[in-house]
Structure 1
C-alpha cells in the first residue's frame, strides 16, 4: 500500500473529515459527529410539483445473471401492474405505497394541522433507541401523494416528510446447485462473541449452513417466512457447512424481515423500524442489501444510527455505472459496497460514484438457498455487502490492543489497510479503497 493510502486510512480511523477540493472529489466513509438535539436542516427536497407519468416496462422473463441492469426496472414494472391499487410511482418513477406519507417525529401541533387539512394517521411507532417516532399519514381523498408530500413540507419545515418508498433487493439468485452436505459440528470460528445485523427478507434457519447459527429475529409479527434473497445474504454473513463459510460464522445474527412475503414490504417506514431495533440491541454492524431512492425520513433514521457509533453497510445496486446513486448506500456515512467477479473485475451492472467505499466478491459465488437444503448461484452487489459487513463486525469485536478508539473507526481502519488496491492508485469511484474478502467467495463448482 502506498504512502497516500496509509495517510487516508489513518485519517479515517481517527474520525477526521478531509476537506473537499476540486481535484479530490472522493468522499470517504467517515463517521459524522454526534447529532445535536435539533438536527441540522436537510438539503432541499426535490420539486414534487411536476407530475411525470411512470414508465411501466413490459413484464419479461427474469434476466440472465450476467446482466442485472434491467432487473430492478422489471421488478418495479411488475409491482405497478400487479399491485397498482397499493403501489404507485413517485414523480421520478420510484415505487411507493399509494397515498402514504412518512415522517419522523412531527410535533403535536404539526400533526393537528395535518389532520385539519384532511390527513389521517395510519400508524405510528416509537423508535425509542433513536429518540424518534415514525408516523405514516394517509393523504386526503382526491389528493395525489406528490401534492400531499409537498403540502406537508410547506406546513411543517422542521420534520422530514417523504413518500413511503419501497426498497428492493440488489441481486439475483439462481437455483441450480447441489444439495447441501450436513453441517459439521460446532467449532470455534471468527466472531464467537460478535453481533451482526441483517435488514432483508426472512432467513431459512433449517438450511444446514444456518442451523448452527444463533439468530434473533424482528418483524412479521413473529412469523418466520423464509426468503431466497434474505437466506442467501444471511449465509454469507454467518453460514457454515463443509465447503462453505460466511464472513463471521459464529456471530449472533440479528435478522429483521422487512418484506414478510408481501408486495408492500420493504418500505421506508419498515426500514426505519428495523434500524431502531438494531440500535436497541446494540448491533455494531448492520447490512442492508436493498436499494431505492433518496428519502428524507429514512436518511434521518440512518444518521441517528450512525451517530450512535454503529456501522451501516449497504449495496450500491445494479442499475449500471451511469445510473444515479441508490440509497441507503449513498447516504453520508454509510459504507457503500460494489461487487467484483472471480477475476477481480467490477461487475458491469454495479453502481459507481464517490460514495463507493469497498469492493468484495459478488459473482461466481454460492449462497444458501431458502428451500431448507441446497445452494444457489448468486450475482449482484447484494452479495458483496455482507462480506464487508462481516469483516467489519469481526474487526469491531476484536481486541483493540490497548488503543483507546471507538470500535467503528478502528474497524474501518483495519479494513482499509487490508484492501487490495484495484483500478487507479488510491481510492476511486469504481472500487473505493479496494477489494476485501476475496478469500470468502465459495466457487459454486466446488459444491456440485
Structure 2
C-alpha cells in the first residue's frame, strides 16, 4: 500500500484541481487535448426543431486564457507543497529571497580562499564542514551562520565580506513526479554492461523488479539511506525487470545516492553536490536526477565540473507548467533536459518548458514498481528522465567527453521526431523509449505514487 504524506496530498490535490478547472473551463476541442480519454455526454431535447431557439441564448463561454489558468494552478500546486514543508519544519527550514525553501542556519561556499575564510570567521561565521571533491576539483564549505540571522541576511553578509567568492543558500530540491489514478514493452539490450547513477531517495532493493540488479547505495543526508517510493520507481525504470515491466537498461549496475535521508531538509544543494562528487569518484558515466529546484551556485559548479569531465547528467524539467520559470539542474548548460508525453505522444500539460529540451519520453499512462512489491500508476517528468538515462548509459558506462557526445548523437538518431521537423523547443531531438511505457492495467497497478 502506498502511504500518502500530508504535504504530498496537498500538492496532488492542487494538481488535480488544475485538471478539473480545465475540464470545466476549456472548450471541447481543448478538453480533448488536455483531458485524454474523457468523453463528455451530449444531450438532445426532443420536440425542438433545429434552430428553434437560435438567437435566444447567449454566445458560448469563451476562455482565451485557459492555458494561463492551468499554468497558474500548476504553479500554485508546487507553492502549496513547498509552503507546507516550510510551515511544518520552521526549526530547520528557512526561505531565500524568492520564498524557496533552504536549510536554516547554513550558507554554502564553493572553494573559498583561506583569506576569505578568515574574514568570514571574524564576521561571526563558522566552518561547519568542509569536503574536497577530488573528482571535480571543488572544495565545498558549509558555513554556520551567527545566531539570530536569517539565511537571506547571512547570504548578503558573506557576499559583502568576499565579493569575489561564490556563496549561496543551501537550497532544497524536490521530486519531479506527480500522481495519477491507475487504469509489453519491447525488450532492451545491453543493459547488463551499463552503469548508471541515481540521485534521489533510497531504493528498496528487495523489490522483485530489482532482483537481478547490482545496487550500491550511499546516504548523503542525516539518517542515511531511507527507501522511498519515488526512488524505487525511478530506479526500476532505469534498470528493473519484472514480468511485463522492463526498464530502459535492465540489469544495469545502479549507484544510488540518497540525498533525502530521514530529515525534512533532505534534498539540499550540499547533498546533491556531494552525491555528484561520489558519482565522479566512482566514474559513473550517466547520472539521473529526477529532482527540481531553483538555481544554486554550488550545484551549478558541481554540474559544470561533471559535464566538463564527460559525465552525462539527465534531469527532469519539472511539472510546474509551461509558464513556470526554468527548474534546475535540468536548465543548466550541458545537462540532458527531459520532458514527458502521454500514451498518445502528447506533451503533458503540466510539463515545464525551459529554454532547452533535449529529449521526450513517456511519463504518463504508465506503471512502475511500488513499495508493496506490486505496481503503482505514475505521472510526471520524473519518470521520463530515467528512460532517457538508461538508453544513454548503454553507450557511456564511464565518463568521457567524446563518448558522451557520441552517446547523445546515437540516441538522437534513433529518437522519433515529433512536432516541428527536426529538433524543436517542445520535444527536443525527439521521443525516446515510447515502447517502454507499461500500461497500469497490464500489471494490475494498485494506487498512485505521489510526491515523497
What is the count of residue pairs matched by the alignment? 377
Q: Is it true that 1:136 corresponds to 2:142 in the alignment?
A: yes
Name the structure 2 match of 1:280.
Answer: 281
Contact persistence 1:129–1:279 (CA under 8 A): yes
Q: Select the structure of larger CA radius of gyration.
A: 2
User: Is the CA contact 2:94–2:151 (under 8 Å) kept in the aligned structure 1?
Assistant: no
Structure 1 counterpart of 2:207: 207
Secondary structure in structure 1 of the residue aligned to 2:376: strand
1:440 corresponds in structure 2 to 436
In structure 1, distance between residues paired with 2:430 and 2:100: 31
Number of the residue aligned with 2:42? none
What displacement does 1:423 show? 1.6
Aligned pairs for 1:64-213 (under 5 A) are: 67=19, 69-173=75-179, 189-213=189-213
1:63 equivalent in alignment to 2:59: no
The superposition leaves residues 112-160 of structure 1 with CA deviations (integer Å, 9 ceiling, x where unpaired) of 1100001112222221211222111122223332222122223223432
The answer (yes or no) to whether the contact 2:193–2:394 under 8 Å persists in 1 is no
In structure 2, the residue matched to 1:267 is 268
The answer to whether the 8 Å contact 2:12/2:179 transfers is no
Partners in 1 of 2:422 and 2:243 — Cα distance? Answer: 37
- Structure 2 residues not aligned, in runs of 5+: 1-6, 20-73, 445-452
Q: Distance in 2 between matches of 1:145 and 1:117?
A: 15
> Secondary structure in 1 aligned to 2:421?
coil
Is 1:386 paired with 2:375? no
How many Å separate the matches in 2 of 1:309 and 1:364? 34
Q: Which moved more, 1:62-71 or 1:434-443?
A: 62-71
Compute the displacement of 1:72 (Å).
2.4
Structure 1 unmatched ranges of 5 or more: 1-56, 178-186, 399-403
Q: Counterpart in 2 of 1:217?
A: 217
TM-score (ref. length: structure 1): 0.80
Cα shift at 1:207: 0.6
Change (3 A) 1:128 1:229: same
Q: 1:406 to 1:233 in 2, by over 3 A?
A: same
8 Å Cα contact 1:175-1:369 kept in structure 2: no
Which structure is higher in helix share? Answer: 2
Q: CA RMSD in A?
A: 2.4
1-side partners of 2:10 and 2:222: how far apart? 34
Q: How big is the shift at 1:100?
A: 1.2
Mapped contact 2:176–2:291 kept (Cα < 8 A): yes
Contact kept in structure 2, 1:354 and 1:428, CA below 8 Å: no
1:397 positional shift: 4.7
Shift of 1:428: 2.0
CA distance in 1, matches of 2:367, 2:89: 32
After superposition, give the CA deviation of every residue in 1:339-393 in whole Å (9 maximum; x if it has no partner): 000000000000113221111000011111123x111100000000000100111
- What's 1:421 paired with? 417
Task: Return closer, same or farther for 1:112/1:247 CA change in 2, 3 Å cut-off.
Answer: same
Distance 2:339 2:304 in 1: 21
**Ranges of 4+ aligned residues in structure 1 off by more than 6 Å:** none
1-side partners of 2:316 and 2:352: how far apart?
Answer: 9
What residue in structure 2 maps to residue 409 of structure 1?
Answer: 405
Distance 1:93 1:217 in 2: 32
In structure 2, the residue matched to 1:315 is 316
- What's the CA shift for 1:98? 1.4
Classify 1:405/1:105 alpha carbon distance in 2 versus 1 (closer, same or farther; 3 Å).
Answer: closer
Stretch moving more, 136-145 or 249-258: 136-145
CA distance in 1, matches of 2:9, 2:381: 23
**How far is 1:176 from its partner?**
5.8
In the aligned structure 2, how far is the partner of 1:202 from the partner of 1:409? 30
Q: Is the Cα contact below 8 Å between 2:96 and 2:102 reproduced in 1?
A: yes
Answer yes or no: is the 8 Å Cα contact 1:120–1:138 preserved in 2. yes
Deviation of the 1:95 alpha carbon: 0.6
